Structure formats: C-alpha cells, structure tokens
Structure 1
Amino acid sequence: MSLIRSSLGLRSVKLFEGLPPGRLDALAQACRWRSLPAGRSPVQRSVRESDVHFVISGQLRITYFAFGGRQLTFREVGAGEYFGELAAIDGQPRSADVLTLQDSVIASLDATAFRALLRDEPAVAERVMLGLCRLVREVSERVIDLTTLGVQNRVHAELLRLAREAGCADNRARLDPAPTHAELASRISTTREQVTREINALQVRGLLAKDGRALVLGDVDQLARMVMQVRGAETT
C-alpha cells in the first residue's frame, strides 16, 4: 500500500515531542512507511536489520519464538511508541521477534539517521536513554520473577503489572479486553492450563471477576501485597 510520508503521523510519537515542524518533515521523508496487516512479522530475531520503527497506528507484540513453538512475550507497543533501538545503537542482530496484533502503520528510520538524530537532538537522546533504563529494569524484574517465583505468584505479578498499565481507580482496575489465558502464559513462561487454574482461584477468592470481554481486579492493593510478600519487599 502506498502511504503519504507526512509529519502528521510522527507528531503522535512521544519520542519526538517538542521537535519543530521542519525537523519532523525531514524525518517523515527519511522514513520508510509501511501498512502491515495483522499477523505480519516486520522484525525477526537474529536478522541483521537495524532500522528503528515508529508505530503510527495499530499494535504489535515483542516476543520470542523458541524451538518447538513455545512463545515468550516481552511487551506490546501501540500507536505513539517505537521499537528496534537496540540493534540501531549496537549494530547487533535482532534480539526478539515482532508480530502485528492489528492492522498497523509503521515508519522506519535507518540506524545511521537514527544515531544522527540522537546526536543532534539531546531531548530525544535523553528519552531513548530513559526508555532503555526502563527496559533494563523491566527485564531484570521479569528474570527475578521467572527464577524465584512459582507459577501462582507469576500470574499475580503479571496481573498487577497489567492493572497498573491500565490504570487503577478506587482500588480497582479493568483490563479490557482481557488478555487470553494463552497470552498470559506466554508472558510468564508457563502453560495455559496453569494460568486458567490460578485465574479461577482468584475468582473464587473474589479478587477477580469477568465482565463481558473484560477482567476486573476488585482489590489491587491486596494483589500488590501478595506480590510484594513473595518478592520479599516492604509493603508500604
């Protein structure tokens, strides 16, 4: 599909907030624009391709497909976000697979132009550094959870993370649409059946309820205390 290279699409990318219109216009022209249907993989692990990709619309999943078909999901990115900065910075092969969950439009900037942008725009460089710090902290927390927590506790921790992403109000959070049990399993390296058992247990305890396509967490503070207790952290 032919797309118009317009800075209007890049204005929604948080990384570029505050850049002057002329700079955005130049970036729009430098990018390669693509419209991708759901189920397409624009980035594959181990491939030497180093573009940085900006999500104009849609949603994509950063994941890892192991031998035998097992999947481990790292995160999801939506409109206004970006991915691919690691390979652009260090020149190494891709570390994960990317899959479109919805029809998506992405604008891709080659590594040389991206590094020049970081040199020329300190505010953009700072945002990239902060993003990398968040990524390291998230990965570190996940590694600790995977190596120290049982499946039950990993389900609790992932639901708590999703609740905080969705936003909490009056000690409640609504996940709409709710992640499937298979999606939760791919996030915490377990099986769908184990996730189903723990979801049912949380419903019996009254901490979780179904509401159409959504899941409602009725006591986020209690869930947080459960997670912090097994992590050995203070609950304040």
Structure 2
Amino acid sequence: MAVSPLTLAPCPFFASASPAALQFAAAHMDVRHLRRREVLGDAAAPFAGLGVVLQGMVQAVDLTLDGKEVALMSVGPHEIFGHAGLLAQQPLALMWVAAGPSTSVAVMPRAQALQLTQFPELVLQVARLASQQVCDLLGWQKIQAIHPVGARVCAWLLHQGARSPELRLPTHAEMAWRLNTTRESVTRVLQKLLADGVLQRDGEVWHVAAPQALQEMARGGER
C-alpha cells in the first residue's frame, strides 16, 4: 500500500526532491509497524531496499565472530536507512531491528529504490549522506586510537559537541562497540563526568558544562 507524499515531507532526504521524485517514492513505499526487537525482513532475506523512519528508531545489527550482537548504526525519526548499500558493488547485508516499543517505517524494495537514480537530486542526496557516513566512521577510527578509555570517551564527546551544543548519545552498548571498550567502562566514565559537573543531562539531551576540563581529560589528564 502506497504512502502519502505528506508522510515523507518531514524527511530532509526528500526536501529538495522534485514533485515527480516525491510521488515516485511515495507510490513505491509501504508502511511497516514494528514491535521492539522486531526485525525488518528476516535472516534469510535481510532488508536491502530504502527505508524512512517515521516513528521510533531502528538499528543496524550484526554479530561478531564470537556471537556477540553489536549495533552498527542507529537511525531516528525522518532519517533514511539502507541507502549506503544501494550503489555498492559488494553491499554489506545488515539486519535492521526496531529499537523502540513503537516503531514505524516506510520501506521501498531494492529494485524500486535503484530507480531513484532517475532523479539526480536524490542521487546527490544519497552521495552526500554516504560521504558523511564515511567521514563519521573515519572520525570514530581516529578516536579509537586514543588511550586510556576515559580519554577516548571524552574525545568523542568533544567531537560530537563541535557539531551541536546539545548531545544525543547512542546507547552505552553502541558507544562501547564503536569505541572498542565495554559498556560498563562507558557508563562509568559518563557517571564520573556528570558527578564532576563536566557534563549535564536533561532527559535524553546532554550538555558539555566544562569544555576546558573535557579537553584536558581527552588529552589523558586526570580531574
């Protein structure tokens, strides 16, 4: 069942889309309502098209060689997912899982998603998003080289804070995997930063209250 173009309008990906492109996307998308931990597609045929999160959050999940589940990426409301694999010669098969109790997504099969290449403005958007994801991943890799773990977490907070004064952190488990440490270590560092007044928290939003102290700790200094 097709979705309304108005449903896709809040998504920045479609902000510059022509009426024809928006109509094509809406006509080839279906809405799926997912329960917490419900997988989009299945293990035999993981989702490989283009999706838009309408409500809630989805995560790209994979298993390490020792069988541990890791969240590779989180996608929130009005963000797209699946675009990184559309034009790749060897796309990575990802398992997309609902991360909230009430998640709704609009999804398009791969064949129709590839037809979006007919619309140059959408291809440019895919290229921009994919390029930013590459830069983000390189940023994570650079921060992973920092020791000790506390300095690594602080360096990542500074990196994120450079974009916006309001920080919305991923789960501690996701941060731990990306920073090559443990969830307990991430939690311990964040609790200390809160207790010392370096960070402040208002619900899901975090603020850097003492940027100079955070910079010192990112360089390995104690406080």
TM-score for both structures, normalised by structure 2: 0.78
Residue 92 in structure 1 maps to residue 120 in structure 2? no
- Alpha-carbon distance in structure 1 between the residues aligned to 2:170 and 2:21: 38
What's the offset of the Cα at 1:67? 4.1
Instruction: Give the 3-state SS of the residue equivalent to 1:198 in structure 2.
Output: helix
Q: Over aligned residue pairs, what C-alpha RMSD do you find?
A: 3.2
Residue 8 in structure 1 maps to residue 6 in structure 2? yes
- Give the corresponding residue for 2:122: 124
AA of the residue aligned to 1:108: V
- Residues 24 and 200 (structure 1 numbering): CA distance in 2 closer, same or farther, change over 3 Å? closer
How many aligned positions are there? 219
AA of the residue aligned to 2:185: Q
Question: 1:43·1:94 contact (CA, 8 Å) conserved in 2?
Answer: no
Worse-matched range after superposition: 150-159 or 202-211:
202-211
- Alpha-carbon distance in structure 1 between the residues aligned to 2:98 and 2:193: 31
Structure 2 unaligned residues grouped into runs of 5+:
none
Residue 33 in structure 1 maps to residue 31 in structure 2? yes
List aligned pairs for 1:1-236, cutoff 5 A: 5-42=3-40, 49-90=47-88, 92-102=90-100, 103-118=102-117, 120-163=118-161, 167-168=164-165, 173=166, 175=168, 181-209=172-200, 215-220=206-211, 222-224=213-215, 226-227=217-218, 229=219
- Alpha-carbon distance in structure 1 between the residues aligned to 2:18 and 2:201: 46
Structure 1 unaligned residues grouped into runs of 5+:
231-236
- Residues 117 and 184 (structure 1 numbering): CA distance in 2 closer, same or farther, change over 3 Å? closer
- Residues 62 and 23 (structure 1 numbering): CA distance in 2 closer, same or farther, change over 3 Å? same
